[in-house]
Amino acid sequence: MFDSLKSKLKGVFSKSSSKLDAEKVYEEPPEKEVPKKEAPPEPVKEEKPVAEKAEEVPKPKKEKKPAAAKAEEVPEPKEKEKAEEKPVSRKEWLKRNKQKPAETKEGGTEVGKMVGDSGKRIKEDPLDDLLDELEVILLESDVAYPVVQDIILGVRDNLVNKKYGRHFTLEEVVETAVKESVRNVLKVNEFDFDKWIAKQERPTVMMFVGINGTGKTTTIAKIAKRLTDQNMSVVIAACDTFRAGAIEQLSIHAERLGVKIVKQGQDADPSAVAYDAIEHAKSKRKDVVLLDTAGRMQTNNNLIDEMKKIARISKPALKIFVGDALAGNDAIEQAKVFDAAIGVDAIILTKIDTDAKGGAALSIAHTIGKPIAFVSNGQGYDDIQVFDSNWMLDRLFEE
C-alpha cells in the first residue's frame, strides 16, 4: 500500500545527507569558539609558583578542576564525533521511534524533542533543492496541489532557523519534519463514528453518495454489519432506482446480513423509497436507516438535483461521500461537487489496500475540510476500519 509514495520519500531521505552538505546546511554554534580562546591561558597559569596559586585561590581551583575533569570530558566529544561519523541508520531510528507511540499521536512532539537552545541551526537556502524534489514527488503521487503547498510550508517551518541536537543526523531531521507536516495535514478533523451514532436520535438516517464503481453499495453493507454487531437494528433503502442491478445487489447483501431492505422497481422515485424506509423505521422502532443513492457521473445535473431532493426529504443526520482511493485527484473533484450540492459530512475511502500512490488519502479530507470516517481495505463485511492518521503515517514512513 502506497508503495510508490513510500519508495520515493525514502529516496529523498536517503539522498538528503549526501545531497546537502552539512557544513552548508548547519550554522556552527558559537560555543565551539569559546574553549579555543580559553585553551592558551591555562598552561600559563600552571607555570606560576605555589605562592601565586594560593593568592589566586578561586581562579586556579576552577582551572584545576576542569583539568581533572578534562580527562573525563575528553571522551565525550570523541563519542559525539563517533556518533557523527557513524549516524544511526534510518531503520534503527524508525525502530526507536516505534517504541514511543504516544509521542507520535501528539502533533509536533518529535520535532520538539529534536529542537533545543543549543545545537546545529539549519539555514534556508540549501534546503530549496530538497523541498523542490519533495514537491514533485507529492504531485506525482496524486496529492492535490494546495495540500502539497501546505506540506512544503510545514516542512520549511519545521526546519529553517531551528537548532537541532548534534546527535541527530540530517536524514533524521528531514524525515521527522516531513512526517510532522503530513500528520498535520491528515488530522484535519477527528471523527469518532461509534461515539457519534450512540448519541443520535432514533431512527438515525445516513445518506451515502458517490460515483458508480467506487464500492458504495458494498460499503453500505459493511456499515450495516458494523451496526448490527453493536446490537443496532438497520433498514437499508435502495434509492438507486436508476440501475436494476444496484437494487438486486443491495437485496443480496440485506439477505446475507439479516436486515430489512425497502425497495421499489427500476425508475421509481428515489425520494419516495427513502421516505418509505424512514417511515418503516419509525413504525418498527428501528435504530438506523442507510440510504443508497445513484452514482452517475457527478457532472450530470439530473443526478445532482436528485441528490438534493433525497437530502431535502430524508433530512439525513450524516451525509457520507464514498470515494475510490485509486481515483486520485478525480475522487477529490467528485467530493467537491457532492459537497457543494448537499454538504458532505464525512468520507469513506474504498480500495485503500490497493492504492499504490496514497495521494487521495492525503488530499481528500484536507481539500474539502471533512474527516475520513473509515477506510475500506478488502471485500469482506469486516474489511472496514476507522481511519487514523497514525495508521496512515505508519504505512507511509515505516519499513
The per-residue DSSP string of 159-177 comes to HTT-EE-TTS-HHHHHHHH
Q: Would you put residue 337 in left (φ > 0), alpha (ψ -120 to 50) or beta?
A: alpha
- Residue 344: the pLDDT is 93
d(CA 289, CA 384) in angstroms, rounded, equals: 19
d(CA 13, CA 26) in angstroms, rounded, equals: 17
- Residue 119: the pLDDT is 57
d(CA 219, CA 382) in angstroms, rounded, equals: 10
The per-residue DSSP string of 213-271 comes to TSSHHHHHHHHHHHHHHTT--EEEEE--TT-HHHHHHHHHHHHHHT-EEE---TT--HH
Q: Is the peptide bond before 203 cis (omega within 30 degrees of 0)?
A: yes
Give the DSSP letter of residue 44. H
Consecutive 10-residue runs of the chain (399 residues): their mean pLDDT? Answer: 56 53 55 49 50 46 46 46 47 48 43 57 70 84 82 84 71 80 76 92 96 91 96 96 89 96 91 96 96 78 88 96 83 88 92 67 78 88 88 69
> 362 and 147 in contact (C-beta within 8 Å)?
yes
Q: Residue 309 forms beta bridges with which residues?
A: none
- Residue 105: the pLDDT is 39
* Domains of the chain with bracketed CATH: 9-186 (1.20.120.140), 193-397 (3.40.50.300)
In the numeric block, which cell numbers belong to residue 253? 447483501
- Residue 259: the pLDDT is 96
pTM score: 0.70
